[in-house]
Structure 1
Amino acid sequence: MYRAKTTIEQWRILQAVVDFGGYAQAAAQLNKSQSSLNHAVTKLQDQLGVALLEVIGRKAYLTEAGEVMLRRARHLTQNIQDLEELASNINQNWEPEITLAVDLAYPRQYLYSALKAFQPYSRGSRMKIVNTVITGTEEAVVEKWADLVIAGNIPKGFLGEPLCQEYFYAVCHPDHELAQLNSPIEPSELAQHLQIVIKDSARLPQEKQGWLKSEQRWTVSDFHCAIDIMQQGIGFCWLPEYTLIEAFKAKQLIKLNIKGSSFRAVSFYLIAPKADKIGPGTDMLYQQILALRQCNAHEAL
């Protein structure tokens, strides 16, 4: 087995001397004597047989070889720090991985703001963010495979905190046959046209939504694909408002005037399926999502 000639502490001292501009400055920052730092770096260079630093005046500069080796050493010292922090986190029951299931219809700008705020305090926990659709989101709650779930409804037996309300509109291309009708469209007539639907992510999908009535269907995996297809003049689709802003501005899609149903509102909730076993990292993310929730009144486009 290979035995290292150098120590992590030697590389940390070298890094400090370079970062703080000299032995005196590094000694003050590390609360060590200047002579001990000088000795550590000298011994490091002797052990390696390579000159890492040269002192010009009162300031220490890296040699060309020193630049290469210190760059590699920074990765080493960071990995050691991460490893030690991981051990501390495990000792405190901090989760090594957090799984967040998010209904595809939840506005992403709210989610990303919460994740950005959480990241600096995540302690290296891996984040697994899974997009779910319709009953696939409910499945994530009921089967408890996710630590946190953002869902459009709360399954029986669970509790959730309200986050926001999102509006869904039936839309199509301006040249589509449905767009040419002046009077409100009867739901029965709408059902005769091709509908673009988003694939339910559940293992055993259960069709509960009343807006999925058309017999003619094309199923796609995401909203972007649905929009691209409709921009070719094909079919109609119910989509959340946040996905339609650009298409509305460019007049590539229009809202359908449907009798008795100009839009559908969906309220989103934050659910902790394993609330009695929630870890400190999951709880911190939970609180961050709640702190940035958007429960303000809807502003129509």
Structure 2
Amino acid sequence: MQPYRPKTTIEQWRILQAVVDRGGYAHAAQQLNKSQSSLNHAVAKLQQVLGVQLLEVRGRKACLTDIGEVMLRRSRQLTQTITELEQLAENLNEGWEPHIRMVVEMVFDRTPILTLLQEFEKQSRGSRLIIEDSVLTGTKQHIQEQSADLVITHQLPKGYIGEPIGEYQLELVCHPSHPLAQLERAVTQDELTQHLQVVISDTAPKPDETEGWLRSEQRWTVSHFDEALRLVLGGLGFCWLPPHVSGAAIRNGTLRKLELEGSSHRRGSLYLVLPKGEKAGPCARMLAQILLQGLQQPPGSQHLQPVPVAKVGTGL
């Protein structure tokens, strides 16, 4: 079977688009810096090889036929793809990453970064963003092994620095019918160990179980806070949950917040880290700068400005 050989060229479709967009051959010729006769010939040739009429002249204006409208719409997808492909080759030649990996500790509330990611998408030049959830030792290992381009973490491994971007908080919660919720005082650590604890699994292959919120010998392990919330809402055990996960249930009374003797909640700082340091690529540095600019600015401040890549530093 013979391979299909296109009858038309990208240049012919671009000329057709220019003629339509500029309202005629004369203005299109000025835009493309070509002669009007060459544009007439290109469109005529395009119609000839396709066997359909794309344009018809009405007065002094070239107008699309019904078939032409369909073909023009599809041609824009084609030329846009070619433009993006050529831009990608240029970006890769300049060291622009085809994809970047951002690892995010689960205690971090993602809501504030949604608008920041929208800004990144506008400037990303088509780079793909991979966002991966991580917990405890797993987050530290991504930093130490430089297996991610950006990391949002609440604990910095020795020898690494990060930019502070806020705080996290964990609250001790259970179902209102749970025995711990019936106590009219703060719960002791010993009392906690007598009940089932729902914990989030450490994402490291060999987790350090001396860290984090692992306390009770009786525990069920899940992979995400959402699953932990479902279990606790079902009356199964207690759990340390961040307010962005448990807040609505606490407010409507389907969860009870417990007071722990000596500590009503757990709180700490969150950091943005570029594990690869000076070796971080320009796209990763741009995303880091967008996140820092948005997360560190005071509430109610002005919208983000486009980030010049040349000015993005790696001093995280």
What TM-score does the superposition give when structure 1 sets the normalisation length? 0.92
Amino acid at match of 2:52: V
Q: Does the residue aligned with 1:288 lie in a helix, a strand or coil?
A: helix
Mapped to 2, the partners of 1:260 and 1:295 lie a distance apart of: 33
Alignment of 1:160 with 2:166, yes or no, is: no
- Give the residue type in structure 2 aligned to 1:93: G
Structure 2: distance between partners of 1:296 and 1:196: 36
**What is the alpha-carbon root mean square deviation over aligned residues?**
2.0
Deviation at 1:295, TM superposition (A): 7.8
Which residue of 2 is the match for residue 115 of structure 1?
117
Q: Distance in 2 between matches of 1:276 and 1:210?
A: 30
More deviation, 103-112/137-146: 103-112
2:70 corresponds, among 55, 68, 71, to: 68
CA contact (8 A) 1:99 1:128 kept: yes
Partner SS for 1:264: strand
* CA pair 296-171 structure 1, distance change in 2 beyond 3 A: farther
2:185 alignment partner, SS class: coil
Q: Secondary structure at the match of 1:292?
A: helix
- Could you tell which deviates more after superposition, 125-134 or 36-45? 36-45
Cross-structure match for 1:22: 24
- Any stretches of 5+ residues in structure 2 without a counterpart? 300-316
Specify every segment of 5 or more residues in structure 1 that has no aligned partner in the other structure, as ranges. none
State the distance in 1 between where 2:15 and 2:260 align. 71
Give aligned-pair identity as a percent.
55
- Structure 1 236/228 Cα, relative in aligned 2: closer, same or farther at 3 Å? same
Structure 2 residue corresponding to 1:251, chosen from 236, 246, 253 = 253
RCO higher in structure (CA 8 A, sep ≥6): 1
The alignment covers a number of residue pairs equal to 297
**Alpha-carbon contact 1:162-1:269 (below 8 Å) kept:** yes
SS in 2 for 1:237: strand
Per-residue deviation at 1:36? 3.5
Q: 1:65 to 1:296 in 2, by over 3 A?
A: closer
Map 1:47-196 to 2 at 5 A. Answer: 47-196=49-198
Contact conserved, 1:164 with 1:295, CA < 8 A, in 2?
Answer: no
Q: Distance in 2 between matches of 1:175 and 1:149?
A: 39
- 1:51–1:208 Cα change, 3 Å: same
State the distance in 2 between where 1:192 and 1:17 align: 78
Q: Alpha-carbon deviations, 1:35-80, whole Å to 9, x = none? A: 4333321221122221112233344332232233223322221111
For residues 26 and 175 of structure 1, do their structure 2 counterparts lie closer, same or farther at Cα, with a shift above 3 Å needed? farther
How far did 1:234 drift? Answer: 1.6
Separation of aligned partners in 2, 1:53 and 1:268: 60
Inter-partner Cα distance in structure 1 for 2:53 and 2:175: 69
**CA shift at 1:88, angstroms?**
1.0
Which residue pairs with 1:197 in the alignment? 199
The 8 Å contact of residues 113 and 291 in structure 2, kept in 1 or not, is answered as yes
Whether the aligned pair in 2 keeps the contact of 1:18 and 1:62 (CA below 8 Å) is yes
Are the aligned partners of 1:163 and 1:295 in contact in 2 as well (CA < 8 Å)?
no
Q: In the alignment, what sits opposite 1:286?
A: 288
Q: Deviations over 1:113-158 (max 9, x none)?
A: 3211111110111111111111111111111110111111110111
Query: What is the CA distance between 1:183 and its match in structure 2?
Result: 1.2
